[in-house]
Structure 1
Amino acid sequence: MLVVFKNGVVDPPKELHSPASAQASEKSKSPEDVLKDFLASNPNNSFSLAFVDKALLAYAAPPQGPITSHQRLFCGVNDVYCIFMGSLNNLCALNKQYGLSKGGNEAMFVIEAYRTLRDRSPIPAHQVLKELNGSFSFVVYDHKAGTVFAALGGDKAVNLYWGIASDGSVMISDNVDLIKATCRKSFAPFPAGCMYHSERGLISFEHPMKKMKAMTRTDSEGAMCGAYFAVDAYSKVNSMPRVGSSANWATWG
């Protein structure tokens, strides 16, 4: 998958940017050129959606054959879109819990859970993500609300990367080469067991009472890359957002 968010839709951590990107000898590709490369490398099973001056979503269906633990799924409902990778071992139980169809897949569940929590439920997002049993990563884009929600499971079985392109766009993909082509040194692995919400930033859903810290990364040539983020085991969040009828996935991560 490849997702590009433009014009301030996402405000990434400042540590994700590396000054070394501007010093790279080779010119970086634009997000649009990287999108063309993605579609060209998957000519028979990919498509993209463009939201003018806001976002680009690109998806490539997996090759035909038996479903694996790293399946790729796409779903869109009422201007909410989700690209999901991996699988949930307790999907049937989750669909039943949320009153969804037994035949719904993981991407459909994530969208419906997001919409339910956004519109009606006071349950905090980190509590919901803790209930997901499996290997997963997903990116949700709520076009009407202008909201981005992304998460990566804690078992590190699924890869996910994010970075800042030369034009300031934020890119997310499971393909590190696509990220490097336009973000250069300004990228990092998305931290496992964490979620990012465009209004609340980066939070660990496994350890929501702990702060996140940025750790310096360097490549094989010693150039500083975008920081890697991890839970600060010795820190503590002073207070969590209060959970009530006005606090949900739409207002915090």
Structure 2
Amino acid sequence: MILTMPLPCYQSTFIAICILQNSRERSREIAHTMLGVFSSEIVTPPEELVAAGNRSPSPRTTALALMKRYIKSNPSAVSIQIGDQASLAYSRRNESLLQPRSFGVKDDIFCLFEGMLDNLGSLRQEYGLAKSANEVMLVIEAYKVLRDRGPYPPSHVVGHLAGNFAFVVFDKSTSALFVASDQSGRVPLYWGITADGFVAFSDDAEMLKGACGKSLASFPQGCFFSTAVGGLRSYENPKNKIIAIPAADEEIWGATFKVEGATVVAARVNQEGTLLLW
């Protein structure tokens, strides 16, 4: 005979609280994954984010304080300081099998990559890479081709990447920055401005919020940012401008970036059953 006894109410409550706390702790562990911070000598802070921060002032911290907070939250993180102009850090703790994180450097080109490319095999062949080359090495090679001898615009090169991804490339030799996000935004990416004017990129909005305040936004999907071509561009719609819409006060963002020119078609059916467009 098996005896079962109900738990007292206070014990049930205690167990529920412990489960909730453990869940929150796991969420916090997964949150901090990659971070790139760049001085205004490398990146001119986007005017829209500067204006958002001025419009709704909120507490912010310096780039150094942001990086120290990241490292403290991720004891196993790898961090690199590149002069006084750039800092990169990432952690592979609790990474997703579908969104692995990687870091690589070759010929003074540094790359943080999160996600997975569906067409990695064909891209290896296109760029003449070994079968062992992973996504981060592929992106570095694609950037080198684009910088040195690329016959195509950046939108064409990034547009050939299929899958879920977000990456940050810093070229120390030219002090150039190249950042991109996939077309569906499946790998989150955010950017903001710290108290001392550094531009920070990360997949953790909460961490950037503490350092950037309202000078914070979600990096638009299907877009890339390049200091070489002069700012933010859409690789899905290269000819369309990107506009920044001021966010409401209750939102954590200071602005929302969207690609201009979405076509809206109105339609109705007349009495004869003919579809009319106008």
Q: TM-score range by the shorter chain?
A: 0.7 to 0.9
Instruction: Choose 1 or 2 for highest CA Rg.
Output: 2
- Pairing 1:14–2:39 present: no
Contact 2:45 2:197 in 1 (8 A): no
- Pairing 1:178–2:211 present: no
TM-score, normalised to structure 1, is 0.85
Match among 73, 82, 88 for residue 102 of structure 2: 73
Q: Within 1, Cα distance between the matches of 2:206 and 2:94?
A: 20
Q: How does 1:129-140 map to 2 (within 5 A)?
A: 129-140=158-169
Aligned length: 228
Q: Within 2, Cα distance between the matches of 1:62 and 1:126?
A: 32
Contact 1:139 1:151 in 2 (8 A): yes
The secondary structure found in structure 2 opposite 1:129 is helix
Q: How does 1:77-92 map to 2 (within 5 A)?
A: 77-92=106-121
Q: Within 1, Cα distance between the matches of 2:55 and 2:195?
A: 8
Deviation at 1:9, TM superposition (A): 0.6
The secondary structure found in structure 2 opposite 1:209 is coil
The secondary structure found in structure 2 opposite 1:218 is coil
The amino acid across from 1:136 in the alignment is F
- Structure 1 vs Structure 2: percent identity of aligned residues? 39
Cα shift readout 1:175-222 (whole Å, capped 9, x = no counterpart):
1112111110100000000000013200000000111111111242x7
Deviation at 1:7, TM superposition (A): 3.3
Deviation at 1:31, TM superposition (A): 1.6
- Pairing 1:216–2:246 present: yes
User: Can you give the 5+ residue segments of structure 1 that lack an aligned partner in the other structure?
Assistant: 236-253
Deviation at 1:109, TM superposition (A): 0.2
- Pairing 1:49–2:80 present: yes
Please state which structure has a larger fraction of its residues in helix: 2
Match among 141, 148, 162 for residue 191 of structure 2: 162
Deviation at 1:230, TM superposition (A): 0.8
Match among 173, 182, 186 for residue 144 of structure 1: 173
Q: CA RMSD in A?
A: 1.9
Q: Within 2, Cα distance between the matches of 1:5 and 1:218?
A: 27
TM-score, normalised to structure 2, is 0.77
Q: Please, which moves more after superposition, 88-97 or 116-125?
A: 116-125
The amino acid across from 1:218 in the alignment is A
- Pairing 1:60–2:91 present: yes
Q: Deviating runs (4+, > 2 A) in structure 1?
A: 19-24
Deviation at 1:234, TM superposition (A): 5.9
Change (3 A) 1:105 1:181: same
Change (3 A) 1:21 1:211: closer
